Structure formats: C-alpha cells, structure tokens
Amino acid sequence: MSDTSLTIDNILAPELTLCRVAASSKKRALEFIAEQINHQDNTLSETQLFNNLISLERLGSTGIGQGIAIPHCRLEGLDHVVGVLMTLEESVEFDAIDNQPVDLIFALIVPKEATSEHLELLSQLAEKFNERSFCDRLRQCEDASTLYQRMTASGG
C-alpha cells in the first residue's frame, strides 16, 4: 500500500478541469483530452494518448449512462495518474450503455503498471457520478474553477 492513496483530489489538476468544451463528436472529445494532457506535460505523446483512449472505446464504450463517460487507458512511461474532467457545451453521441449522449467526461490515464488502486479510483468515480444531484451540480458550472471545486469538494 502506498503512502498517498489515490483520490480524485490528488489526481485532478485545476489546469485539466475544463468547462463547456465545444466538441462535435466522441472522437473530437478524446482528441481534446489528449491535447490538454500533452499541453500540461509534453513528455506524454498526444498521439499515443489518443490512440490508447480510442482503442479502449473500440472494445466497448466508456459511456456509463445518464450522459456520463469515463474514458481511461494505460500509458507507457507515465509515473503518476492523470485525471481530466470536462463538461461539454453540447452532448455528443458516445455509444453509451443507455444510448444517451454524453456531456460529462472524466478521463483517467494511468501508468502501464497500474494496480488495483487504479481500479479503486474508477469505482470511486463511478460512485460519485451515480449521484444525479452531484452530476447536476457539475453540469451547472459556468467556469472551470467552480467545476474543479465541486468535483474535489466532497472529500475524495
């Protein structure tokens, strides 16, 4: 067990919390996520990030229903977990399990050697997003700093 347990608070940076992004499609949303991560850490390949995210989507959509998606992938050469939270200006088709378009996305990029701790993080996210009122509060945000505060406020 590592000293710093993974929580949403310590993997999500304000710079990677994006509000009302204009993305015309699922592919464009994933490209945007890869661009933003690369912008924050240019040692991470934008192309590789995008390819890893899209290849997982091909196996099965990460749209978990109710307008929410949690795209995630492993990345060679990464030594920490990267989270990206974004709300979309308009919902996009995401092949979600309930066939609803998605407007709330939390992407999770984990090291290639990811452990069960990383799976725990996915379940934390799914649990948070299962709460409709919480999702509504995120969707109401007008700016990134409010979005970041609301995502990290409820303790983990």
Span between the terminal Cα atoms of the chain, in Å: 17
DSSP string, 93-139: ----TT---EEEEEEEEEETT--HHHHHHHHHHHHHHT-HHHHHHHH
Cβ atoms within 10 A of the Cβ of 15, count?
Answer: 13
User: Per the structure block, which two tokens stand in for 78?
Assistant: 């990464």
To the query of whether residue 72 is one of the catalytic residues in this protein, the response is yes
CA distance 53 to 1: 27
Active-site residues: which are they? 72
